[in-house]
Chain A
Amino acid sequence: MNVLNMKRGKACRKPFDMGMPAKATDLVRLAIKAGDPYCAAAVHNIATGRDKRRLEALMFDKRRNTLLLARWEHTPASVLEAIANSSAGNGDSGVVIRLDKNPNATAKALSQLYVGQADVRQLNSDFTVLIAQHLHSPVSVLASIVQLSEDEQSLKAVSRNPAASAEVLSVMLERMANSKIIGVLYKNLAENPSTSTELLDFIYAKGDEYVRAAVIGHARCSQAVIDESVSDKDVKIMRKLAVNARVSSETLVNLAASHDVAVRCGVASNVASPEVLVMRLLLDDSCLVRRAIAARLDLTAASINALANDKDSWVRQWLARNPRIPRKVLERLSVDFEVDVRRAVARNTCCPVGLLKALAKDQSAWVRSAVAYQHKSPKVVMEALATDNNIDVLSGVANNPHTPQMILQDLAASPELDIRRGVILNKYATRKTLLPLLEDPYYLHRLMLVGSVRLKGKDKWSLRDDPDFQVRFMVFRWMASRLCESAVR
């Protein structure tokens, strides 16, 4: 082997010589100097003129990089627009399909793609379908598809898209009135939140039982349609009526007598159900119905007592999580033989501290971990749980706002990822506690620290040459946002 064949440090990213940039232009030039397409993407929206062109050259000089950025879910909108606008975006179907699928693609980018890709669209209707279903597609583009497209899949995609306006949906229904896909369009429109009340009334009159059920479940369904459907005996429609708070008490009483469990469950969870009806459903044979009642926030003392003795553990579990439950009932449930019921007591936002202290000594680590995560658990409980050896319990301790910093500092050095992540997620962890985690081997932890309000700017900036491209991207994006804010001030 030749000595010359010993290759050293090619993959090494040399730390930048510059300190923290004071101006946006400094940061942009630093990103250019770094030669990293992800850093370039992070600062693209604050760059101007020649610097912007240099960033774009850096990002788009290789097709591979353009493809990566067009697909990446974190690519900033301005970069996606630049790709859409560039020759690479306009001439390359591989790039176009990624832009069309990218949830971050802006209305402007999608509009550019739709207008600029007329030739490609004629060859491949998949592109139009992707634009037709994109949540950021502008109404004007969707209107154009509705008026001009002959492709059934594209029209169906618009009918499902909540970004389509009521007018666009109305025009489509009118145009396709005699088409063979009208039945599918009715169904899609019945579930599209943008569909107007008038259109829903029309669809209800024309559609089958599935369409009628979907219309009744729609937030914009008219009271007239709801009143009309009350006499409908189709179970799908009854299920939708049972959960609808606009239905009268009389109707709910009738629905509560249904043989269908899902209908009775709907009534049991409906806030409009009268107390007497809830009391009656407490005796329902189906535990699913009783579980729905146990989750209600308007339970009476009599209902609570009945549910606390229910033989179904899920009923007791739902009750144990209910914040309206009195202390005495919680105490009873805290010694339930089912672990999940005791855990539910520990997770109850209104669980008294005394009960939490008792549950902290529970034999099940699953219960103790719920106590550890409970924000009402006091410092003394956290100190006791910090000696536990279960990962779930220690992760909870790491997350808890009442855990002393000394304990958090110990947990920050844990070999377990989940425990260290708990410290990072703890809003009360101090800078001193968090600083060692900047060296955490797991990239996601370093990435999360870029968003920490406890760390200083210089701490975060130390990650600017991180080995992971996502961390570098986040650092540059954070700095870009910070410089923009200070420029506005």
Chain B
Amino acid sequence: MKILIAVKQVAALDEDFEIRADEKDVDEDFLLYDLNEWDDFSLEEAMKIKESSDSEVEVVVVSIGPDRVDESLRKCLAKGADRAIRVWDDSIEGSDAIAIGKILAAVAKKEAPDLVFAGVQSSDHSYASTGISTAAYLNWPHAAVVADFKYQPGASQAVVRRELEGGMLQEVEINCPAVLTIQLGINKPRYASLRGIKQAAAKPIEELSLADVGLSTGDVGAGNSMSRVRRMYIPEKGRAEMIEGSLAEQAAKIIQIINEFKGA
């Protein structure tokens, strides 16, 4: 069987950063890149299936992005993924999560996996819709915010527990192939071994163009997306007051503020 995992290299912000001149994103110099935290859990869930299975299970990671994304894909390879695919074309720049879902669905059609995993959301843009839009383009069943997963490789159904509001879980039976978005805490992701990292450095990363997955520039990019970023900015700061004075005085003022809020 085969599990396809959609992963993303996300950007983390420094405390002091600058917005790009076009006001549509943060200046890249101020961004630190790493694998999306949710995707670590997706990969681990796939690795658990692979390692506990008697039959062969292939774990393939896929990401949409420029060259720098290879670093995150290699991290996945170091943790045990069998193959890594990166899809890129400059025309993809500016695509929204739905357009990215279209590309991932095209890769899934080409790879024909039994399951597709994605993180519930990415830590930088937080749309939480890439996995779901992938399922929509594939016309496959999907389950979002999966906190527990039971599946026998080769089975036509899986049982998932979805995390709901108020600490509730919803147990769902789902037909396969399916797309699942995996929640944090479903497992304990491993660290890549040094040997794994060294071996991953020598493994190939398959670079696919839009044409390789049957798409064209007319399918992607800001112009072909359903939503576009107009502006990114730091909102005006709200009312804040520095509490001054000696430590005892500051403590007394904090107690006063708390009491005022409590109506005491």
Question: Quick one: CB contact mask for B165-201 with A, threshold 8 Å, 1 for yes?
Answer: 0000000000000000000000000111111111001
Interface 9-mer from B47-55, B91-99, B241-249: B241-249
Whether B114 sits at the interface, judged by CB under 8 Å, is: no
Whether B212 sits at the interface, judged by CB under 8 Å, is: yes
Whether B219 sits at the interface, judged by CB under 8 Å, is: no
**Which of A12, A190, A213, A440 has the most B CB atoms < 10 Å from its CB?**
A12
B202 and A67 within 8 A (CB): no
The chain A residue sitting closest to B16, CB to CB, is A97
Whether B28 sits at the interface, judged by CB under 8 Å, is: yes
B244 and A67 within 8 A (CB): no
Q: A9-B202, A441-B190 are in contact. Are A1 and B246 (CB under 8 A)?
A: no
Whether A187 sits at the interface, judged by CB under 8 Å, is: yes
Q: A94-B16, A94-B30, A439-B195 are in contact. Are A213 and B246 (CB under 8 A)?
A: yes
Residues in B whose Cβ lies below 8 Å from that of A94: 16, 18, 29-30
B29 and A11 within 8 A (CB): no
Whether A63 sits at the interface, judged by CB under 8 Å, is: yes
Whether A210 sits at the interface, judged by CB under 8 Å, is: yes
A71 to B29, CA, bound (A): 13
The B-contacting residues of A in range 1-24, CB under 8 angstroms, are 1, 5-13
Whether B222 sits at the interface, judged by CB under 8 Å, is: no
The chain B residue sitting closest to A190, CB to CB, is B246
B202 and A191 within 8 A (CB): no
Interface 9-mer from B142-150, B156-164, B203-211: B203-211
B193 and A439 within 8 A (CB): yes
A94 to B28, CA, bound (A): 13
A442 and B206 within 8 A (CB): no
Whether B70 sits at the interface, judged by CB under 8 Å, is: yes
> Chain B nearest CB: distance from A206 CB in Å?
14
> Chain B nearest CB: distance from A115 CB in Å?
22
- How many residues of chain A have a CB within 8 Å of chain B? 35
B191 and A7 within 8 A (CB): no
A467 and B246 within 8 A (CB): no
A439 and B194 within 8 A (CB): yes
B244 and A184 within 8 A (CB): yes
B244 and A1 within 8 A (CB): no
B248 and A441 within 8 A (CB): no
The chain A residue sitting closest to B192, CB to CB, is A441
> Chain A nearest CB: distance from B229 CB in Å?
22
The chain A residue sitting closest to B247, CB to CB, is A191
A40 to B263, CA, bound (A): 58
A64 to B18, CA, bound (A): 12
Kindly identify which residue among B192, B197, B248 contacts A213, using a CB–CB cutoff of 8 Å: B248
Whether B14 sits at the interface, judged by CB under 8 Å, is: yes
> Chain A nearest CB: distance from B67 CB in Å?
8
15 A–B contacts from the bound complex (CB under 8 Å): A5-B208, A6-B205, A6-B207, A7-B70, A7-B204, A8-B205, A13-B201, A63-B29, A94-B29, A210-B249, A210-B252, A439-B194, A441-B190, A466-B194, A467-B197
Interface residues of A (CB under 8 A from B): 1, 5-13, 62-64, 67, 71, 94, 97-98, 101, 156, 184, 187, 190-191, 210-211, 213-214, 236, 439-442, 466-467
Interface residues of B (CB under 8 A from A): 14, 16, 18, 28-30, 67, 70-71, 74, 190-198, 201-209, 212, 244-249, 252
